[in-house]
Each structure stands twice: as structure tokens, then as C-alpha cells.
A and B are shown apart, each in its own frame.
Chain A
């Protein structure tokens, strides 16, 4: 088992003919992902890495089996592209694009929700269920199948966490990049709930950072609803007040978004917090033994 994606997932790549879309399509295919179509308006009829390209998601859906879209489209057209996928009936959207205006993201999120579709991202590395399906930009070889679920606010931190667990022989059920923006399609609480329901996931590792209130809300949720061990690693202890630390969402002003609140909330929920990436593996091993 896994969450969100598995061997039955059939993917359309929106923005497949772009530089990044084309390269990442190649990497995803190599990882065994079943990409059945690509979409770039005006490029219908061509092929990228052997994948047929269509002018619209609707046309792609008419001819191919598709249940998930991954988007590598430019930020200014991300809102339109997501709505197109939702209108065509896609139920899972994985939005890789960075620097999407927050107002656009709020509309994308609302639109997807009101149409029964799930949005992951934006500014996400994607989602990977090792050995079954990889949707996104992560380096494939760092991920191995196993019992640990990973939720990360950052692409690079998700690679680090999965990579070091894999090196120690601890694999992953699914890694979900939640996205580093102020507003994300699916939040930490919702992802924890999915991992709680997944019978194969035995431990969940969460990477949190300064900004927003997701970690605080997750801590409350963990206390009330999560019976599986959760381990956290937090970044952004060294940050300047008011400066966005690379992610649009990683900023604190006064107490709002500050690290202390988050660490306090996790501690109160009994969530062990790793001091360093190296310590994550030790805490996970402990949790798996328990």
C-alpha cells in the first residue's frame, strides 16, 4: 500500500514540451511511472520520449487512461492549467511550478476542492511511492520501498531524509512534498490522516519549517487522531525576522510563524524532534522497534 499514487496511477504531464517538463518526463519514465499523455496547447500530435502530446487535457482523457496530472507549466498560466485538468475530470493534481502568485493558488485550491479533486503543491518536488510510481522531480535512486511515510515542506529536505533512511536500509511507503508556499493544496493534517489510514506505513517523518501554523495544527491533530509514531525535523532556526528564507511561506514576524511555537507544539504532542538529519534515522529506527 501507499498513499496518493501507486502502480495503478496513470499520468498526464501538462507542460511536457518545456525544457524541464521533457527532462523530468524522461526521469519519471525511467523510474517506471506510467505516463500515458502529455499536454501543451498547440503541440498536439507530437511526441516527447514516445509519449503522445495533446492540445488539451480533455483530448488526452478521451484517448488515454489518466487519473493524475503533473504540471510543469509556467507560473502565469498555472491557474488556467489546473482548472483545465479539474474540468477534464482529473482527481489528483501535482503542481511542481514555483513562484505562483498566492491569490492564484488560493483560487486553484478552492476550485479543486469544490470539484472533488486533490491538489498537491505548488512548489513541490512531487510525490513518490518508491518502486511503483514517481511523479515529480526527485532523484529516483534516493528512494527505496519500506515502512516510513515522509511529508516535507521542501524538495531538497525530502531527498535528504529519504536518502539517509535508504542508506540505513529503511525504505519508504510514500514521500509527499507538501510545498513551500504560504498556501498549499493539501496540508500537513490531511497528509497525516492519509498515512494513518495506510496499513503499510508504520512511522511518519515530517519536515517542518518556520512560517504559517501547519505544524501547530498538526501537533493538535496528532494528539487527537494519530496512533502511529511521528518524528519531526525542523529547519529555519537561523532566520532573519521578516525575511523569506527561500520559500514564500518560510517567514516569521514576531511570534507569528516562529520556531518556538512549533517546537513547543510538537513536544507537547509527544513528537520527538531530531536535532540533525543524521538523528532522524536513529529516531525512526527506535520508533520501528517499539
Chain B
């Protein structure tokens, strides 16, 4: 779950990171008022949810309350990545003599957090960034965190010495603590600025909390659902499945992520999948009925393809949910299903009685060919 910058900054501040004075505005009047109260040059930042590297909203400087109002007017209602801007962060625009970019993410190969710091943007947090001479990096210990001597080493590698190196190391350790405390996947400063008085401020900040850890943070678990932009993906989440909307017209339902990706890959070789959907383990009759109705919500579908494996999933139960929807909702587009695994004979019987074309052989490519035939392709 991605946080808005102003939310991330609140969590950073709790951990002792200095953030520029600022407030959230929802209207241009509020933005002008905040600027007037501050009595200083402000920076106004459109609040959108974005992973670093996929694009954030614009930010603009305003020299007076009137200008702040005009800038706010221009930013509110703009769209970035399909998100309409409804909130602005109005902050004091701090003078900076130097900027440091810091990003922490999970290094899957090392099985440990990787802390990267650079005097340049770490825009795509790329693999090659690690090996670049301009980026200093260090792994943290999943138990012990980022040790202070490693944080100081990072600061020195960026050319900091004396007090400044100690101060920077302290900020990096603080952001690491935020990352650990909130079970984050990524966290960072983009950037941390150093003012002419040698003070450090997180002028840009980002934080993504691991969805699997949200059970620990009830305040965010509630919010996370409303942050899913696609209404169908949001409904999928409530049902307990992963739905990713695609551009085509063949509905897809799969009982696992791997077979789900293979299925949309193969369908797209001769047609266009409308969605990716995978149920994960533990399906029930009701859940599969909900899933079927969810996929059918997309207008203009030409067919539905199910790819089911009975390992951890009772597919014979799931099949009942599928045919229930076909019957009750009078589904009149072709439904083709491949079902293999535990209880496969029972599953085939239920599906065939419900009017589903059943594929009983294993290769998904052959099953997709059958689907194309049924669709007259």
C-alpha cells in the first residue's frame, strides 16, 4: 500500500526526521491561507500515489499567498496515472545547498533490505544503480537493522565528513527505523535537503507498506481498500482475489498466479484478455460465484476462460459457484474451463451439466485454442 507524501512525512516525523513545516490543502483558498500563515515562499505538491519511478504529481513554487492560490487552482483536478488530484501539500520552500537521495528496498536475492544513497536522483532504483560509482549502498540486517557504522560509511562514501557525516548517518538510520517499524517494501528521501545552516530536512519522502503486513496496522488496512483505483480490482480485493484490469474482451479466472499469467500471455497471442484474475488457495462455492460475477461486470465480454487446478483448492466446490452464476444470471457468452487435479471428475461433471465447455487435458495452450474455436477465431 502506497502512502501519500504527507502521510509518509508524518510517520517520518514521528521517528525524529525533520520535515519542512507544511499543511494539506483541499482547495485553493486553503492553500493561499496556509501560505499566508507561513509568510514565506512555499512549494505546492500535488498528492498522488506513485511508486518511485512511475511518476509522481507536479510540484510548483509560489512566492505569495495569491500565487499559491493560483498554483493550487491549476494543480487541483489535474490527473496523474489516472488519479485526480484532490489534496495538495503546501510546505515552506527551503533553501538548499545540497540534496541527498536515499532509497531503501527489499533486495530479494540477498534476502535483506538494501539502503542506497546518492547525490543524484535514484529515480528507477535500478539494479545498475547499485554498482554505479555515484551510489553508495549497504545491506541492513533483518534482525539488527542498519548499524550506525554502516550508515556513517554511506555518508562518507558520498563525500561527507565531520559533523555533516554524523548528521546524515543519523537521518539515514531514522528512515531505516521507519522502514522497519511500518514493514515497508520501499521507503526513502527524494530528496533530503541540507540548508545553508547545515540542517537536514526531508523535503521529499515516500513509503510503501507491505500489503501482507497490513494486519498489523488496522488504521491503514481500512484505507488500503479505498486506494485501489480500479473499482473491479477493489471488488476483487474484498472477495479475496487479485484482479488486474487489461484491455481486451475475454474474461479470465485462474486458481493460481503462475497459471494465471501463463493464461493471459497465451490468450493475448490470438485475442485479448479482459483481465488477469487469480484466486490463490482456499476457494469456496460462494467465492467462485462472486469471482464469476466480478469478471462478468466488464462490458462487452465475448467469452470467459477458467483455468483451475485442484491442489489446495477444492475445484469441485468452485465449479458449483461458476454454474450457479451461469444459470441464475443467464450468461449467454461461451464459458470454457480447463480443470485438472484433485476431484477433477466431479468438477467436470458439474461444469458440463452447467453448460460449460470442459477441457480435460493439461496444456493451457491447447485449451486456449479450444476457446478460440468456440469464439469462432
Contact = CB atoms under 8 A, between A and B. Distances in A.
A246 interface: yes
B259 A212 contact: no
B318 interface: no
A168 B124 CA distance: 44
Interface of B: 51, 53-54, 106, 108-109, 111-113, 124-127, 141-143, 180, 183, 185, 210-213, 215-216, 242, 244-246, 254-262, 264-266, 268, 273, 276, 278, 280-282, 307, 309-312, 340-342, 361-366
A27 interface: yes
Given A163-B340, A253-B51, A256-B125, A156 B255 contact: yes
B246 A240 contact: yes
Given A244-B242, A246-B276, A278-B366, A109 B111 contact: yes
Contacts of B273: 238
B257 A102 contact: no
A24 B342 CA distance: 11
A256 B213 CA distance: 23
Given A157-B256, A240-B245, 6 more contacts: A24-B312, A101-B216, A103-B210, A137-B281, A142-B340, A247-B257
Interface string A179-200: 0101110010000000000000
19 contacts: A20-B281, A20-B282, A27-B342, A102-B183, A103-B210, A105-B111, A210-B261, A213-B109, A233-B262, A235-B261, A237-B261, A240-B245, A245-B260, A245-B276, A247-B257, A253-B51, A255-B127, A278-B363, A278-B366
Nearest to B108: A212
A183 B108 contact: yes
A254 interface: yes
Contacts of A247: 257-258
Contacts of A107: 142-143
Nearest to B255: A156
Given A238-B265, A253-B124, A156 B254 contact: yes
A104 B224 CA distance: 20
Contacts of A183: 106, 108, 111
A106 B53 contact: no
User: Which of B257, B264, B312 has the most A CB atoms < 10 Å from its CB?
Assistant: B257
Contacts of B210: 101-103, 248
A154 interface: yes
A242 B256 contact: no
What bracket does the count of chain A residues touching chain B fall in? Answer: 35 or more
A113 to B, nearest CB: 8
A277 B262 contact: yes
Which 4 pairs between the two chains have the least Cβ-Cβ distance? A154-B258, A246-B257, A156-B256, A157-B258
Contacts of A106: 106, 111-113, 142
Contacts of A139: 309-311, 340-342
Interface string A119-143: 0000001000000000001110010
Contacts of B363: 160, 164, 276-278
A109 B139 CA distance: 15
Contacts of B54: 241-242, 253-254
A75 interface: yes
B212 A248 contact: yes
Interface in A63-92: 75-76
B208 to A, nearest CB: 10
Nearest to A237: B265
A110 interface: yes
B106 A246 contact: no
Contact of A254 (B126, B216, B242): B126
B257 A142 contact: no
A237 B183 CA distance: 29
A122 B341 CA distance: 22
A167 B362 contact: yes
B314 to A, nearest CB: 9
A238 B256 CA distance: 16
Nearest to A105: B111
A250 interface: yes
Contacts of A101: 183, 210, 212-213, 216
Given A101-B183, A103-B180, A182 B126 contact: no
Contacts of B142: 103, 106-107, 109-110
Given A110-B112, A156-B258, A214-B108, A238 B264 contact: yes
A100 B212 contact: yes
Interface string A270-281: 000000111100
B124 A180 contact: no
B346 to A, nearest CB: 13
A142 B339 CA distance: 13
Contacts of A266: none
